[in-house]
Structure 1
Amino acid sequence: MVGTKGAKTSSRLAESMLELIQRHGYSGAALNAVVEHAGAPKGSLYFHFPEGKEALGEKAVELAAARFGSLVADSALEAATPGEVLRRVIDELAGMLDDSGFQLGCPVSVVTLEMGAQSERLRDACANAFESWIVPVSEMLIAHGRPRLTARALATALVSMVEGAVIVSRAQRSIEPLHCAAQAIAVLLEQDREVSA
C-alpha cells in the first residue's frame, strides 16, 4: 500500500513538472511550484527524486515521449497509410495547442533548447525521446515499402518538421503552420512513395 501511494505521488510530481515545463519552460518550472501543483507533501520531491530538478525533468521528458509515442501508435491503428497517421497526429497536436490558447508546447523541444548545452542528462533524455518517435515512424514507413535507410532519413525529417511546426504555431498563435506541415508531409510522402516504387 505504501508503495502504491509513493508511486502515485511520484507520478503526480512528474505530471506537474511536465505541465509546468509546457507552460513556463524548464527554467520557469520551480520546484516549489511543482510540489504545490502536484498537491504533494513538501518533503516528497527529494524523497522521490533525490537527484533534484534534473531527475524530475528527465522523468517529465520520458512521460512526454511516452504520450507522443502512444498518440502515434493509436493513430496508426486508425489509419491505413503513413500520411493518414501523421495527419491524425498533427490534427491532435493542433487541437491541443488551440485548446490551451497556445500555452502548451512540446516539453521535449523546450528542454532541449533550454538545457541541451548545460545538462548532459537532460540532453540525453531529449535525444532518447526524439529517437522514440523516429523509430516507430521509420518502422511504419518500412512496413509500407520504404527501404530502411530511406525510411530512417524520412522519419527523422518528418518528426523534425512536426516539432518545428509546433514551435512556429505557438509563436504565431495559429494552427496554420501545423496545417502547412501536414500538407508538406503529404506531398513529401507521395513523392517518396513514387521514387521508392
Structure 2
Amino acid sequence: MLELMQRNGYSGTGLNTVVEHAGAPKGSLYFHYPQGKEALGERAVALAASRFGSLLTAPEAEAPSVVVGRVIGALAEMLAESDFHLGCPVSVVTLEMGGRSERLREACAEAFESWIVPVTELLVARGRPRPAARALATAVVSMVEGAVIVSRAQRSTEPLRNAAEALAALLDDRSAGATA
C-alpha cells in the first residue's frame, strides 16, 4: 500500500489494486485489516514514518546539516529513480484525507512528530535551546516536505538541492544557539 499511495495517492489506491500488488488473497487483507482501507492507510503512514525516520539517526558527532542532507539526498534519489512518480506518502495522505479522516490525520501528525523529535534532539545536542530547536526542527521537516512536492511538480531535484543548501546555512549557524 505504501508504494501505491506514494504513486497514486490514498484516494487513487483501491483495495483491489493493493491485493493485486501484494499478490495476496483478498480475504487476507480483511483478516489483517478488519477495519478496512483506513487501517491499512494508517499502517502505511506508520511504515513511511519509520523508514524515513531511520535516515535521521546519526552519530553524536554528525552535524545536523549532514543528517538532513542525507535525508534530502535519499529523497532526491527516490524521486529521480521513480521518474518523479513517488513522493512522501505522509504528505499525500495529509493533503487528501487530513480533513476527512481524523484517524488518518492523527497518523500523519504522529509521523511528522516522529521526524521533528530526532531533529530537535540533534539541535539540542549541538547547543540550541529546546524551544528554538523544536521550532527549527518543525521548519526543517516542513521545508523538506514542501521541497519534495515542488520537486515532483517541476520534475526536478533542484528544489530539494536548494532546500539542502538553505537548511545547511540555518542548521550550522552556531550563533543561533547563543541568541535563541
Q: CA RMSD in A?
A: 1.2
**Rounded Cα–Cα distance in structure 2 between residues aligned with 1:160 and 1:118:** 21
2:84 equivalent to 1:117:
no
Q: Is the 8 A contact 2:97 2:104 kept in 1?
A: yes
Matches within 5 A, 1:1-197: 17-73=1-57, 76-77=58-59, 80-191=62-173, 193-197=174-178
Which residue number corresponds to residue 11 of structure 1? none
Offset from partner CA, 1:31-80 (integer Å, 9 cap, x none): 0000010011121111110000000000000000000111111xx23972
Q: Is the 8 A contact 2:10 2:96 kept in 1?
A: yes
Consecutive unaligned residues in structure 1, runs of 5 or more: 1-16
Matched letter for residue 8 of structure 2 = H
Matched letter for residue 66 of structure 1 = S
SS state at 1:22 partner: helix
- What is the TM-score when the length of structure 2 is the normalising length? 0.96
**Rounded Cα–Cα distance in structure 2 between residues aligned with 1:79 and 1:105:** 30
Q: Is the 8 A contact 2:49 2:112 kept in 1?
A: yes
Q: Is the 8 A contact 1:46 1:52 kept in 2?
A: yes
Matched letter for residue 122 of structure 1 = L
CA drift of 1:194 comes to 1.2
Aligned residues: 178
**Rounded Cα–Cα distance in structure 2 between residues aligned with 1:77 and 1:144:** 12
- What is the TM-score when the length of structure 1 is the normalising length? 0.88
Which residue number corresponds to residue 9 of structure 1? none
Matched letter for residue 140 of structure 1 = L
**Rounded Cα–Cα distance in structure 2 between residues aligned with 1:167 and 1:189:** 22
SS state at 1:101 partner: coil
Consecutive unaligned residues in structure 2, runs of 5 or more: none
SS state at 2:26 partner: coil
Q: Is the 8 A contact 2:6 2:86 kept in 1?
A: yes
**Rounded Cα–Cα distance in structure 1 between residues aligned with 2:60 and 2:120:** 18
**Rounded Cα–Cα distance in structure 2 between residues aligned with 1:157 and 1:79:** 22
Offset from partner CA, 1:168-189 (integer Å, 9 cap, x none): 0000000000000001101112
Identity of aligned residues (%): 73
SS state at 1:43 partner: helix
